[in-house]
Each structure stands twice: as structure tokens, then as C-alpha cells.
Amino acid sequence: MLLGAHVSPAGGPANAVGRGVDLGCTAIQIFNQSPRMWRGRLYGDEEVAAYHEAFDASPVDALVIHAVYLINCASDDPEIRDKSLAALTLALRAGDQLGARGVVLHAGSAKTGDVGEAIARAGEVIKEALAESESCPLHLENTAGTGGTLGRSFAELAALIDAGGGGKRLGMCLDSCHLYATGYDVRTPESLDGVLEECEREVGLDRLGSLHVNDSVTALGSNRDRHAPLGEGEIGEDGIATFLSDPRFQDLPVIFEGPGFGGKQAERRDMEAMERLREQGLAARG
């Protein structure tokens, strides 16, 4: 398992590698542009070369790019649709440049409209973005279910993948906090087995490309996305240890985002907590 954190790419993506190394990461996640602005760009040749040089010389084995929050592939507003398509395509092309394991995407929101129609609209944008980029995978993230967000269940993730063309580049990123917020209990090996069995039936675990490990401030089924420090929330130490030690997650990049994601940066103690809880979970499984 590749344990890591969301880090800043300020000054260029090579600096993100250095920040990950300082934290003790073997995987990192970055935004390819400001998460709260539409304006973006591709990396220059020198930035790309410097990134690959830093990456190849480091213990970091996986990069994940998180697409910007503004994207709503399901919007029925033509302007938002076009901006979402452009931003998603840019993120996938950045992933091509940097050899990312995938781009993680919140597909969008149905708000008060028909969910099926929203999924169909999102699928069209996803298909176009994939067609306008080369090979970087796209990982659709499950959501906490607030505000009509799509991907609240494995059935919705499967529908989004189908609407997006169902190709091999389409996968998923599972977030422990979001799973818990939508009623999926991940706190024990037995309950997590049930969750992953449903995921296998509805989507297929071969689609699983990355993970977010976050604890939850709010209760099971709350539909609220509020992160707690690892082991200090409702999922708790034993639950996080269970999630981090599941053998089906072996070799995947597992990213800690942390409280105030997008604000407070991960610290080395967060990485140390991940490593400790993974070892605790492995010991408990025997």
C-alpha cells in the first residue's frame, strides 16, 4: 500500500514531490490548478522534466491529481458545462504529462433535478474529456451525498461509469469518510467486507484505482462531509486501522486529505498516524 497525502505543487510539480518526501510519503495528491478558480494551464516542458527527475529519484511511487471543485459535469447550464469540460480535460492532460495514476473527480450534482438525467449529462462531459486526452485514468470519487451530489452509492458510480462510456480508463476513488457519511460502515473487517462485496457486485473492484483515508466528524449516514484527524472521529482508530489494512487495497495509492482539506496541509505526524494505524490493523487481522 502506498501511503501519502495531499501536498501543494506551488513552484511547480517537482516541489510537490519534495514536500511528499519530507512528509514520508510514497504517494502524493495535488491540484493541477487552483481548486477555486477556472483558470488553468498545462505544465511547461522544463516543469515536466524537473518533475520526472525529482519523482524518479524519490521514494514516491504514485501521483494522483485532484480535479478542481468547481467542476460540475452534470450541470444543465451551458457555460458551466463548457468550463467543466475544459477544466477536466486540462486535468487529464496534466495527468498525461506527469504519468499520474489517475485524476480524481467529483462528477457533479443533480441538485433538485432528475438524477438519471444528471448522470447522463455528466457522462457526456466525461466522454468528451477522455476523448480529448490520451491515457490518464479518471477516478470517479464517491460522495457524502450532500446537495444532490452524484456518486452517493455504488449503483450511482456504476451508472456514471456506464454513462461515461465504460472504457478501461474509467475507475473510482473510494473515500472512507464519504462511505461512512452515506451509510457504509467501514469500521470492522466484517462490515467492510460487506461494503466491498457490494462494490464488487455493482461496479467491480478492478475499477478501484485510488483511495482517500479520512475520519468523519459526523455519524454514520449523516450525509455530511466533515473530516476529523485520523482516529479521532466517528470511524475511530480501529475503523481507520481496518480500512488501511484491507488486503484488497494492496498496491493502491491511499491519500490522507485531513481536516479542512484545501486549507490545513498534512503534517508528518499525520503520515506517522497512517503508518501506525495500518500496522495496528495488520496485527489485528493476524
- For the annotated catalytic residues, the residue numbers are 36, 66, 69, 106, 141, 175, 178, 212, 225, 227, 257
- Element holding 174 (H helix, E strand): strand 170-175
- Per the DSSP assignment, residues forming a β-bridge with 6 are 29
What is the amino acid identity at position 188? T
DSSP state string for 209-229: EEEEE-EESS-TT-----EE-
DSSP state of 105: E
Residue 145, all three cell numbers: 451525498
Q: In the beta sheet, which residues pair with residue 2?
A: 253
Count CA atoms within 13 Å of residue 261 on its CB side: 25
How far is Cα 164 from Cα 122, in angstroms, rounded to an integer?
Answer: 7
Q: Is 149 exposed, middle or buried (0-12, 13-18, 19+ CB in 10 A)?
A: buried
Q: Which three cell numbers stand for residue 105?
A: 473527480
* 93 grid coordinates: 492532460
Distance CA 194, CA 258 (A): 26
Cβ-contact 243, 280 below 8 angstroms: no
